[in-house]
Amino acid sequence: MAEIGKDIEKAKQLLEERDLVAIPTETVYGLAGNALDAEAVALIFETKNRPSFDPLILHTSSIERVEDFVESFPEKLKMLAENFWPGPLTLLLPRKPIVPDLVTSGLDRVAVRVPKHPLTLALLESLDFPLAAPSANPFGYISPTAPAHVAAQLGEKIPYILDGGACEVGLESTIVGLEEDEIVVYRLGGLEVSEIEKIVGPVIIKDHSSSNPQAPGLLESHYAPRKPFILGDLRQLIAENIEAKSNFAVLSYSDYFPGILPGNQIALSPNKNLHEAAKNLFAAMRKLDEGNSAVILAELMPEVGLGRAINDRLRRAAVK
């Protein structure tokens, strides 16, 4: 059972060892892992038993540290950060390659915020990496606002819950980005639009908020291949495409197929490890999409554990 305590050093050690820790924020408790480590990020999805890979919000301790993992920090967005961080404001910023695809669902921007909680800020300050931290509850359960809630829902799956007391339960963070030098609000939340407009003037509101307030990725389309992406029985699909003399690539779970150039096929996990497959998914899709083939043939994973989330992503890619 997870230990509940206020030991920042213990939380730090566990996170540095690629483990997960529940952390308090001003809204709900987050299930935190090293945001720059694809293994740790995959473990977050696995622990939450989440059937889809939604982009995650990165949590860090200061404006200065944001620049470690973003390509640029546009002046208008930096003005908002200077006025409202720490607090319920998430900014979409162009990410550096150091941020794994699994964090952003393959998108070019990463969601970032500085949370308003002294314990978590102290923890973040002590770490050499930001934390990805969706709500610390299994998929489909109520978001936790106290350590006991986390223990009841995830206590058997994580080693430590950083006890910051009860959260100041409120709205999720407001998500803001920049499009052609215009400030865009993608999700309404705990920071009022009127407050934002006091700093940067009128904004555009594209509120596509969903029933899952911790999923910024639902605000814009996930990374989708430009090429036709066909799901099915790979042996049958390969035979049909060979007969049709089409130029195709193959994305499989674990198998390699004879007669297909190595550069035109990727097995997500030759060892049949769904954790490894999840880690490799977005990079593999992107590589095949950038290759010379005209079409990508793929198969579903086993419908268990992380396989469900991988399959959700594959099905989205196949929809045109």
Annotated binding site for ATP: 50, 59, 135, 143, 187, 223
Structure tokens at 3: 């230990």
Q: Are 191 and 88 in contact (CB under 8 A)?
A: yes
Q: How many CA atoms within 13 Å lie on the side-chain side of 28?
A: 20
Among 104, 99, 123, smallest CA distance to 29 is for: 123
Which residues neighbour 251 within 8 Å (Cβ) at sequence distance 6 or greater?
Answer: 265, 266, 268, 284, 285, 288, 296, 297, 298, 299
Beta bridge partners of 113: 59
Which residues neighbour 162 within 8 Å (Cβ) at sequence distance 6 or greater?
Answer: 5, 6, 7, 8, 11, 21, 22, 23, 24, 119, 120, 123
Residues making up the binding site: 27, 50, 59, 113, 133, 135, 143, 173, 187, 223
Residues making up the binding site for L-threonine: 27, 113, 133, 173
Q: How far apart are CA 244 and CA 252, in angstroms?
A: 20
31-67 burial by CB neighbour count: b if 16+ within 10 A, else e? Answer: bbbbbbbbebbbbbbbbbbbbbbbbbbbbbbeeebbe
Q: In what order do the strands lie in the sheet with 204-205?
A: 3-5, 160-162, 21-23, 30-34, 131-132, 57-59, 109-113, 89-94, 174-179, 182-187, 204-205
